[in-house]
Structure 1
Amino acid sequence: MAASIARPSGSQCPANWRRSKGRSAASRSSSPAQAALVAKHLGMVRIGLFAHRDYAARRGLPRTREELAGFALIGPDRAPSDLRLVAALAPALSHQAFALRTDSHPAQFAAVRAGLGIGPVHLALGQRAPGLVRVLPGFLIHGFETWIVMHEDPRRVARIRAVFDHLAGDLARYVAAGEEARPAAPP
């Protein structure tokens, strides 16, 4: 792909595109409504619970959602949408049930990888992260549709279209990887 970006096939960026702010592709979790956008639906990103195998060896793993309160949980602090999700999925869990609370999803993932407890991770990411095991494999926390979009004007520029197509392909493979099941670790 790098060669096609570095050596375009005679295409030049339209003058109005060079001055515009909408030069890049973006991922979205909802279908774009704007008519001037080119969009490709990639599928649904699914989120489940994971723990590091060292944590599972020390503490064991819950067999039911009700047992989650007895484990070190990693989750949201103040993000309203994340807190509503927790309340809907596990009403018995209070805000205080979380051993580590942060609204940063990358920080939650880092804490799970460090073996600090059980937390939410994209299935595709958790399934390939060394040392992580799925907790309550039949339980999905959430799923969201994923789209990649760009403005319609630059789509005819070979370099931009190559990047868009490359990103769409990689993201579609990532989303599809989250649809495969991974067995839980032994208790």
Structure 2
Amino acid sequence: MLKEQIQKELKIFGLNGFEHPIFYHCHTGIRFEIGVGDVYDNDGVPLKEYVDNALNRAMKIYNNGIKCPSILVWGVYPQNDEEKHNFQIVFQEKIASIPPQEEYSRDIKVDDNKTKTTEFYWDLQKSKIPMEKIFQEIILGDLGGVQEFVSSVYLFDIENHVMLHLYDDRGLDIVAYDKNTLMPLYQKFNIWILDYDRERINKIFLD
């Protein structure tokens, strides 16, 4: 079961669930800055250069950090079956016409209010999900795109115990069980590390 595999991985990372920001809740990880420069033109339209540069950074980190893509998880908040179906249609229209292999729904509390949440799971060994499309939709989410992709998509490399979380156009968290797994990323893309967390990240990899 994909859900059970993900629960095991989260425990390996020191997580009880998808706790945001992922980087701050894990013992080993890197926080990268993805979006840099001006976001909008004079008319308030997202600049193509900004989006393209953010996508380029995200794809380079993915291609260098995720050696064996295993499972993709998308968490959404449909309040009924119709809304849940509509989310799947959005995924098919924006990403790929591939239904999830599993889904898991439950009730949770948000600010003392009960709401429903659903997680869709794709087995990446069986489903050819185009990561570039996924990342582009996440980046566009707060810039006039589909907001449900923001902060809600998680990519796992089970074999190497790595999770990548591109949360929006600004940044990306990548965490692992073993810091040596992420050391090549730390060295190769060091200039992209978010300056706010650079001291903390340096301690992880240089101590």
TM-score, scaled to structure 2: 0.25
Structure (1 or 2) with the larger CA radius of gyration: 1
